[in-house]
Amino acid sequence: MTVTLFSPVEIGATSLKHRVVMAPLTRSRSVQPGDVPGEMMKEYYGQRASDGGLIISEATTIAVSGKGWYGAPGLYTDEQAEGWKGVVEAVHAKGGKMFSQLWHTGRASHVETTGGITPVSASAGTFEGGIVSTSTGWKPPSPARALEVSEIPQLLNDYRRAAERAMAAGFDGVELHGANGYLIDQFLQDGSNRRTDEYGGSIPNRARLLLEVMEVLGSVWGKGRIAVRIGPGGTYNGMSDSNVNALFDYVTEQLNRFELAYLHVIEPRVRGNTVINEGQGAIASERLKKIFNGKIVAAGGFEPKTAEETVEAGIADLVAFGRNFVANPDLVRRIRERLPLNPYDRDTFYTFDAKGYIDYPFYDAANRAGA
């Protein structure tokens, strides 16, 4: 029997009716001050929820010290958790499932976003070409200092508390953001990790922090309710590694012990929200599928046709859509019924109001308007 995008699938402890996933998409619309999910976010996610489909929340900050994007929501206060509860309820009301993506930006930050706290990373310094969203506009990141080994227990506790708040908010699970040049990725890749202690040097040492965080998340959520996003070969936020395949093969093999809900793989053909190798296939997912024992969610530059081909070929089990979900609140229906897609407006991806957020038309409304 051929597996398609619309075949049901089990991801750990969660049952889904199809394999079209809404990717985590930073959109900057939380209520300020406080980084609290409000009514606009509730409407946005509710619009995009589908019966039996998975939504992964936008990257959600675990602590003030980990903030790196103005307007991004958090999960480090009870008020934020209460705001997320309304969002999750809206998704569940339409039969959808939702995981919270937990985020620490590390060196991809600015003192304006952290309330004056110096950003931390695997190693001290900054990186070329980076920009950070602050309350006064886009700015180069502030110089970061190396995270001390003595500070890691507090970091792990920040992840624990965020995971607990995600559970209290009603999420179906949590995903660790381990990609796109943020803190976990900064420890993984040797272009940013120049440490000489037990968190640097060898691949097992550089993977140590990621695995310790996964232990913490598993202690809160149990088996089948945790996931992680990785970006093999990703260069966003100044990332690089001298042996990408060896690093991520090792990480993937180690992740097998956690009985994850899924492994979320960003294809190296994308950098941030931009596709840089249009014709390149799902090469990272195909490689890691041979190592990982569970379900793989592939992400990065997919269109309906390429997503269908990827699932049918067994390269990945599910496919996450980003830009097309931004512009099409009813994307699942449009793919299923092969309806035309709304174009997305990149200029409104990271603005702060309803335009380009909750005003994209559903297919029927667009059809009536054009009739």
Write out the DSSP string of 268-319.
TTEETTEES-TT---HHHHHHHTT-SS-EEEESS--HHHHHHHHHTTS-SEE
Does the reported pTM lie above 0.75? yes
Q: Write down the pLDDT at residue 366.
A: 59
* pLDDT average, residue stretch 290-317: 96
Q: What is the rounded distance in angstroms from the CA atom of residue 361 to the CA atom of residue 339?
A: 13
**70 within a domain of the structure (yes/no):** yes
- Domain residues for the domain of 73 are 9-370
Please give the Cα distance from 260 to 14 (Å, whole number): 11
Give the tokens for residue 216: 């913490």
Q: For position 1, what pLDDT does the model report?
A: 76
pLDDT digits (tens, 9 = 90+) for 223-256: 999 999 999 999 999 999 999 999 999 999 999 9
Is residue 329 in a domain?
A: yes
Three-class secondary structure of residue 54 per DSSP: strand
Residues listed for the chain: 371
Nearest Cα to 178, choosing from 113, 101, 291, 67?
101
d(C-alpha 299, C-alpha 282), whole Å: 9
| Closest listed residue to residue 258, CA positions, set 323, 211, 295, 207 | 211
pLDDT at 371: 43
Could you give the percent of the chain with pLDDT greater than 70?
95
Of residues 11, 25, 19, the one with CA closest to residue 56: 25
Confidence at residue 271, expressed as pLDDT on a 0 to 100 scale: 63
Q: Which residues pair with 54 in a beta bridge?
A: 21, 97
pLDDT score of 282: 79
In a domain? residue 2: no
What is the per-residue pLDDT for 129? 86
Task: Report whether pLDDT(278) > 70.
Answer: no
Q: What is the CATH number of the domain that holds 86?
A: 3.20.20.70
Question: What pLDDT is stored for residue 32 in this prediction?
Answer: 96
Residue 3 lies in a domain: no
HSE-up of 200 (CA within 13 Å, CB side)?
17
Cis peptide bond N-terminal to 33, omega within 30:
yes
Q: pLDDT of 144-200, one tens digit each?
A: 999 999 999 999 999 999 999 999 999 999 999 999 999 999 999 999 999 999 999
DSSP state at residue 300: S
Mean predicted confidence (pLDDT) in 216-221 = 98
Q: Three-class SS of residue 138? A: strand
Residue 4 belongs to a domain:
no
Residue 28 lies in a domain: yes
Query: Across residues 57-78, what is the average pLDDT?
Result: 98
Task: Determine, yes or no, domain membership for 337.
Answer: yes
Q: Count Cβ neighbours within 10 Å for each residue of 166-184 and write b for 16 or more, e otherwise.
A: bbebbbbbbbbbbbbbbbb
Number of domains, the chain: 1
Q: Is 1 domain-assigned?
A: no
Tell me how far the alpha carbon of residue 337 is from its chain's centroid: 27
Catalytic residues: 182
> Predicted confidence band at 55 (pLDDT cuts at 50, 70, 90)?
very high
302 touches 265 (CB < 8 A): no
